[in-house]
């Protein structure tokens, strides 16, 4: 296969949008460019990307964006309204700055999202592709195990795992990952069943490819778009589960700033000092909305069976 010529600075755009790619790498980059342009043409997708970008920037720039120490207590300034005494979003029941705790809490949220996104989907993808490719008893055993996990609500199952492992942010992340993989396995298995009898799979077997090579080299890449869409759509649920564990005192432990724990400690002030539980609740709502908007838009872009295509 001939290698595509290296594009010049002026011809890079044409190289990425050509209808006749000259290499596999160029074809993939052209496809990614078209998908990115289609994503940016959707206002809702742009709104979701902006929300997630703000979350990432808040987490990265927390020491510079925070106006106070997030754990510093000042009982003389407890329950101050937004804007009072230099506290942009007010203070909580211990006089801690809510804005600063909100900013540092974005790090916990991003940590949960990142660690769950690189563990649960990968495991579920492997389980689903292996189950769909091998079939037989392997398929039955793996899918019955998946059904057992799916039989319980995610939050209830996460509570059971955290109760066994002990409270803490790392244990909460592990519990969420253990309860999040079954839907990915189901999606991957369904995609695998549609391609395992394809001609290119038969050709790969005739060429001497073993099951691991077929799964990793042929089946997994075909399942990735559906799994990626599922990941973005599941991020809102993962964030809510993490916030629910924090609300119940089983997630991040004091004095670590975490949005669910902030709502838990401020719920008693909902009627008298609304900003204490409401502001972190709005943050959870916006971030969940951002991931949902991205997931819906990615589904339209990556699903070849969508109405737009």
Are 305 and 60 spatial neighbours (Cβ–Cβ below 8 Å)? no
Report the alpha-carbon distance of residue 293 to residue 249 in Å, rounded.
Answer: 30
Q: What is the reported pLDDT for 5?
A: 52
Say what the alpha-carbon torsion angle 184, 189, 194, 196 is, to the nearest 10 degrees.
130
CA distances from 162 to 103, 176, 192, 265 (A): 26, 9, 33, 20
Q: How far is the first Cα of the chain from the last one, in angstroms, to the nearest whole number?
A: 30
Return all residues near 194 (Cβ < 8 A) that are at least 6 apart. none
Q: Which pLDDT tens digit goes with each residue over 61-104?
A: 999 999 999 998 988 889 999 988 888 899 998 999 999 999 99
Q: What is the reported pLDDT for 304?
A: 52
Across the chain, what does the average pLDDT equal? 85
Confidence class of residue 307 from pLDDT cuts 50, 70 and 90?
A: very low
**Three-state secondary structure call for residue 91:** strand
Q: Which two tokens stand for residue 304?
A: 């070849």
Q: Which pLDDT tens digit goes with each residue over 186-225?
A: 989 988 888 877 777 778 778 777 778 888 887 888 888 8
At 268, which CATH number? 1.10.3720.10
What's the number of domains the chain is made of? 1
- Classify the C-alpha dihedral 271-275-276-281 as positive or negative: positive
* Position 256 in a domain: yes
* Position 6 in a domain: no
Q: Which pLDDT tens digit goes with each residue over 137-176?
A: 988 999 999 999 888 888 888 888 888 888 888 888 899 9
Say what the alpha-carbon torsion angle 31, 291, 56, 158 is, to the nearest 10 degrees.
-120
Confidence class of residue 303 from pLDDT cuts 50, 70 and 90?
A: low
* Position 250 in a domain: yes
Q: What is the reported pLDDT for 287?
A: 93
Taking each helix axis from N to C end, the angle separating 98-117 and 120-134, rounded to the nearest 10 degrees, works out to: 20
Q: For residue 284, is it left (φ>0), alpha (ψ between -120 and 50) or beta?
A: alpha
Residue 225 burial class via C-beta count within 10 angstroms: exposed 0-12, middle 13-18, buried 19 and up: middle
pLDDT tops 50 at residue 49? yes
Q: How far is CA 131 from the centre of its chain?
A: 24
- Rounded percentage of the chain residues whose pLDDT exceeds 70: 93
* Position 309 in a domain: no
Q: What is the reported pLDDT for 309?
A: 41
pLDDT tops 50 at residue 283? yes
Confidence class of residue 15 from pLDDT cuts 50, 70 and 90?
A: low
Q: What is the reported pLDDT for 284?
A: 94
Report the alpha-carbon distance of residue 85 to residue 94 in Å, rounded.
Answer: 15
Q: Which pLDDT tens digit goes with each residue over 105-125?
A: 999 999 988 899 889 999 999
Q: What is the pTM of this model?
A: 0.84
* Position 193 in a domain: yes
Domain hosting 238: range is: 75-302
* Position 215 in a domain: yes
pLDDT tops 70 at residue 9? no
Looking up tokens 């599922």 gives 230
* Position 68 in a domain: no
Q: What is the reported pLDDT for 35?
A: 75
pLDDT tops 50 at residue 2? no
Residue 192 burial class via C-beta count within 10 angstroms: exposed 0-12, middle 13-18, buried 19 and up: buried
Identify which has the larger pLDDT, 34 or 96: 96
* Position 38 in a domain: no
Closest by CA position to 188, among listed 122, 249, 234: 122
């Amino acid at each position: 296969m001939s290698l595509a010529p290296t594009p010049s600075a002026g011809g890079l755009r044409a190289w990425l949008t050509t209808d006749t790619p000259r290499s596999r790498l160029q074809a993939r980059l052209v496809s990614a460019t078209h998908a990115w342009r289609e994503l940016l043409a959707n206002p809702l997708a742009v709104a979701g990307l902006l929300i997630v970008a703000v979350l990432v920037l808040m987490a990265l720039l927390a020491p510079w964006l925070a106006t106070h120490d997030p754990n510093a207590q000042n009982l003389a300034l407890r329950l101050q309204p937004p804007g009072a005494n230099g506290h942009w979003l007010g203070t909580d029941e211990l006089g801690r700055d809510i804005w600063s705790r909100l900013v540092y809490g974005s790090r916990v949220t991003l940590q949960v999202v990142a660690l769950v996104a690189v563990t649960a989907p990968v495991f579920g993808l492997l389980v689903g592709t292996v189950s769909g490719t091998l079939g037989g008893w392997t398929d039955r055993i793996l899918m019955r195990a998946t059904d057992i996990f799916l039989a319980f609500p995610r939050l209830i199952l996460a509570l059971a795992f955290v109760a066994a492992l002990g409270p803490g942010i790392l244990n909460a992340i592990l519990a969420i990952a253990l309860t999040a993989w079954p839907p990915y396995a189901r999606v991957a298995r369904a995609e695998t069943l549609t391609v395992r009898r394809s001609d290119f799979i038969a050709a790969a077997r005739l060429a001497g490819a073993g099951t691991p090579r077929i799964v990793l080299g042929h089946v997994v890449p075909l399942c990735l778009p559906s799994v990626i869409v599922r990941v973005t759509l599941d991020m809102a649920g993962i964030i809510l589960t993490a916030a629910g564990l924090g609300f119940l005192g089983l997630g991040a432990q004091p004095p670590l700033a975490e949005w669910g724990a902030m709502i838990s400690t401020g719920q008693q002030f909902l009627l008298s000092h609304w900003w204490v539980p409401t502001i972190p609740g709005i943050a959870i709502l916006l971030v969940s909305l951002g991931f949902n908007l991205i997931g819906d838009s990615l589904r339209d872009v990556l699903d070849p069976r969508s109405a737009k295509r």
